[in-house]
Amino acid sequence: MRKLLFALLAASLLIACNNDKNKDGSESKSATEKTNETSAPVKESNLAALQAASKPYEKMLGSFVGAFGDNRITMLITTIAADSVVGRTIVGGNDRPFKGTFSKNGTVFSFDAKEPGDHKDDGVFKFTIDETKPDMVAGTWKANDTKRSAKEYSLNRRKFEYKADAGTFPEASQRLLKADDVDNMMKEDLEFMRNEIFARHGFCFSSKSLRQRFEMEDWYIPNTVDIKGFLTDIEKKNIELIKRYEKYADEYGDEYGR
């Protein structure tokens, strides 16, 4: 009787083991393993599809620089999603946001973006970007003031970079200045040295004469109207020193023939 029971038990165990194997002898996989195998490729496929869909927009984001009437303008396109565009422009000492919509015809994206309208120089930007040439922006700007004429512009992609070695007086951003560095300088040169520190940080000057002077430099890209948080400790100390000598040159310049 015992021998019969042992034989039945062994047979049942053998059947159970065989059920856990496929016909080719390999072990069957769990439901979790099967789910992981089928879901992983789907996730990767979805991610690739999303990346492909956003790629045309990403190529058009960034900063573009060029002539804008008598000034230089920097247009920053920060967001393109669905049918909307968001960005800002820096020109003439003003940093103004814009937002609007766009449409696509073939490879060309046409944008229609408005500034807020609460500033006397606000208006409407109309520009195009060809996705086959994403480094160029061309269009017009029309002021809300109907008495002002429209401006045309053609901008090229340029990224602002702070360069401490740029300009005529790079030492003002590279090391602490000594009295000997500035005590024989003309007031105009001292003013230029000080403002050149700001220009290296992409400061957009409200003074037309300073704008025009720096806009002649290839390294200068107007990028902001507030640089307080960007000045280095060396630059801050040098600015104070230069300002003291500017005042000295202004008060005693004529006496010493400056």
Closest of 110, 70, 116 to residue 89, by C-alpha: 116
Query: How far apart are alpha carbons 120 and 169 in whole angstroms?
Result: 36
| Start-to-end C-alpha separation, the chain | 126
Show Cβ contacts of residue 119 under 8 Å, excluding neighbours closer than 6 positions.
Answer: 94, 96
Show Cβ contacts of residue 65 under 8 Å, excluding neighbours closer than 6 positions.
Answer: 72, 73, 74, 75, 155, 156, 157, 158, 221, 222
Is a pLDDT exceeding 60 seen at residue 133? yes
Closest of 211, 2, 13 to residue 93, by C-alpha: 211
Is a pLDDT exceeding 80 seen at residue 230? yes
Beta bridge partners, 138, equal 128, 154
Tokens 């015809």 belong to: 105
The predicted model gives 95-113 an average pLDDT of 96
Whole-number percent of the chain with pLDDT over 90: 68
Q: What local confidence, expressed as pLDDT, does residue 45 receive?
A: 56
Give the pLDDT confidence of 77-102 residue by residue, as tens digits.
999 988 999 999 999 999 999 999 99
* pTM of the full structure: 0.71
What is the domain partition of the chain in residue ranges?
Answer: 62-157, 171-252
The predicted model gives 225-253 an average pLDDT of 89
Is a pLDDT exceeding 70 seen at residue 48? no
Q: Domain 62-157, what fold?
A: Lipocalin (2.40.128)
Is a pLDDT exceeding 60 seen at residue 22? no
**Angle of the 233-252 helix axis to the 187-200 helix axis, nearest 10:** 160
Is a pLDDT exceeding 80 seen at residue 188? yes
Is a pLDDT exceeding 80 seen at residue 211? yes
Q: What local confidence, expressed as pLDDT, does residue 249 receive?
A: 78
The predicted model gives 155-166 an average pLDDT of 96
Q: What local confidence, expressed as pLDDT, does residue 252 receive?
A: 63
**171-252 in CATH: which number?**
1.20.58.1690
pLDDT band at 57, cuts 50/70/90? Answer: confident
Phi, psi of 21 (to 5 degrees): -120, 150
